């Protein structure tokens, strides 16, 4: 198998995961990597689960990965993490936004929001990092900036520090949101080791 890095982003429709993946993939492309990104459409946009995959390296073939193949899982929502754990390499990394969005069965009282997801993830994958992106985004004055905070954290984790991410953000977001998103990116970037 060729040497490629496999990233899985997961969360809930409306959390801005597609934009987050676009920022990531564009930055990687600009710095000369071969990149493939796969996104999910359709039903998932009505408040369902959403995942995207980004793969990069010298030469990438498949746009998607299979189970046990992700080097990093970046989860934008706590409970969603559990659903994608079987895609993570046991020696991989999991970054979790400790933000909760109850799903329909929980809202109507048919199920409880699962406790202990984080502990279980930690017991399976040693390298698990937690981020409270919601609080950080609120401090910036816009909860929606959570997605770019997560990108910042991910980029730091991947050690992709030699890419001009500010330029990438500028090229992808609307003028009036550039400042907010650059701030969010830096906040996430500085939040992880």
Partner 1 sequence: MKKLMTGNEAVARGAFEAGVTFASAYPGTPSTEILENMAQYKADVYCEWAPNEKVALETAIGASIAGARSLAAMKHVGVNVAADPLFTFGYTGVTGGMVLVSADDPGCHSSQNEQDNRYYAKFAKIACIEPSDSQESLDFMKEAYKISEDFDVAVLFRMTTRTCHSKTLVEEGERVPVAMKEYVKQPGKYVAAPATAKKLHPIVEDKLVALEKFSNETPLNRVEMNDKKIGIITSGVAYQYAKEVFGDKASYLKLGFTFPLPMDKIRAFANEVETLYVIEELEPFIEEQMKVAGIDCIGKAVIPRIGELNPDIIAKAILGEDRPVVQMSEESIVGRPPTLCAGCPHRGFFYALTKKRNVMVTGDIGCYTLGAAEPLNMIDTVIDMGASISMGHGAAQAFAKNGVEKKVVSVIGDSTFFHTGVNSLMDVVYNGSNTVNVILDNRITGMTGHQENPGSGYTLMGTRAKEINIPALCAAIGVEHIQTINPLILDDVSKALDEAFAFEGPSVIITRWPCVLKKFSPEDIKEFDLAPSVCEVIDEKCRGCRVCTKTGCPAISFNKETKLASIDKTMCVGCEVCLQSCPFDAIEKVGK
**Residue numbers at the binding site for partner 1 (CB under 8 A):** 1-2, 12-13, 22, 25-26, 29, 34-49, 60-69, 79-80, 82-83, 85-86, 88, 90, 102-114, 116-117, 120-121, 124-125, 143
102 vs 190, which CB is nearer to partner 1? Answer: 102
As measured in angstroms, the least distance from the Cβ of 158 to partner 1 is: 18
Surface-to-core class of residue 19, CB atoms within 10 Å of its CB (0-12 exposed, 13-18 middle, 19+ buried): middle
- The tokens for 3 are 């040497």
50 vs 131, which CB is nearer to partner 1? Answer: 50
85 vs 187, which CB is nearer to partner 1? Answer: 85
Surface-to-core class of residue 66, CB atoms within 10 Å of its CB (0-12 exposed, 13-18 middle, 19+ buried): exposed
Residue in the structure block whose two tokens are 């459409």:
41
As measured in angstroms, the least distance from the Cβ of 152 to partner 1 is: 20
- The tokens for 191 are 């939040």
């Amino acid at each position: 198998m060729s040497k490629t890095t496999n990233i899985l982003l997961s969360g809930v429709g409306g959390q801005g995961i597609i934009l987050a993946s676009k920022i990531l993939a564009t930055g990687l492309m600009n710095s000369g990597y071969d990149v493939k990104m796969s996104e999910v459409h359709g039903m998932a946009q009505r408040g369902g689960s959403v995942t995207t995959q980004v793969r990069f390296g010298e030469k990438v073939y498949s746009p998607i990965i299979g189970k046990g193949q992700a080097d990093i899982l970046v989860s934008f929502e706590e409970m969603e993490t559990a659903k994608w754990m079987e895609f993570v390499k046991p020696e991989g990394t999991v970054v979790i936004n400790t933000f909760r969005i109850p799903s329909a069965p929980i809202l109507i009282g048919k199920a409880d929001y699962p406790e202990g997801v984080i502990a279980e993830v930690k017991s399976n994958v040693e390298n698990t990092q937690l981020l409270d992106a919601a609080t950080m985004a609120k401090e910036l004055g816009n909860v929606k900036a959570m997605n770019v905070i997560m990108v910042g954290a991910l980029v730091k984790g991947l050690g992709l520090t030699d890419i001009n991410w500010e330029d990438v953000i500028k090229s992808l977001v609307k003028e009036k949101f550039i400042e907010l998103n650059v701030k969010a990116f830096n906040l996430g970037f500085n939040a992880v080791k």
